[in-house]
Structure 1
């Protein structure tokens, strides 16, 4: 996955989230894709830019990446 693919995935997760659950979906994105982001040294800001969501959500993606060390998403 490249930055554009990750941006599209983030955008989809954000836009398809139930009302009031958008930030949780951003955290989940960070958890699910942390390995790819870290392994490739991708910039969270670049992923956010590719997604088209508000740049202030970069902090929330970073939180999800940090949480990935401690949590496993349910299927």
Structure 2
């Protein structure tokens, strides 16, 4: 999987999130794809760039990746 593909997935998750859960879905994305992101040394900033979302959301992806050590998506 490439950063571009991850960006597309992130954009879909963000766009399809219920009202009030857009940022939570960014965290969920980070947790769900953490092993791919970390395993390939992908940068959150590049994934966000490829998604077309606001660059400030890179921090939220990073939070999700860090949370992946402690939580698992249902």
TM range (shorter): over 0.9
Who is 1:38 aligned against? Answer: 38
When the two structures are superposed, what TM-score results if normalisation uses the length of structure 1?
Answer: 0.97
Who is 2:65 aligned against? Answer: 65
**Is there any run of 5+ residues in structure 2 with no aligned partner, and where?**
none
When the two structures are superposed, what TM-score results if normalisation uses the length of structure 2?
Answer: 0.98
Q: Within 5 Å, which residues of 2 pair with 1:1-75?
A: 1-74=1-74
Runs of 4+ in 1 over 6 A off after TM superposition: none
Query: RMSD of the alignment, in Å?
Result: 0.4
Secondary structure of the structure 2 residue equivalent to 1:18: coil
Question: In 1, Cα distance between the equivalents of 2:68 and 2:26?
Answer: 12
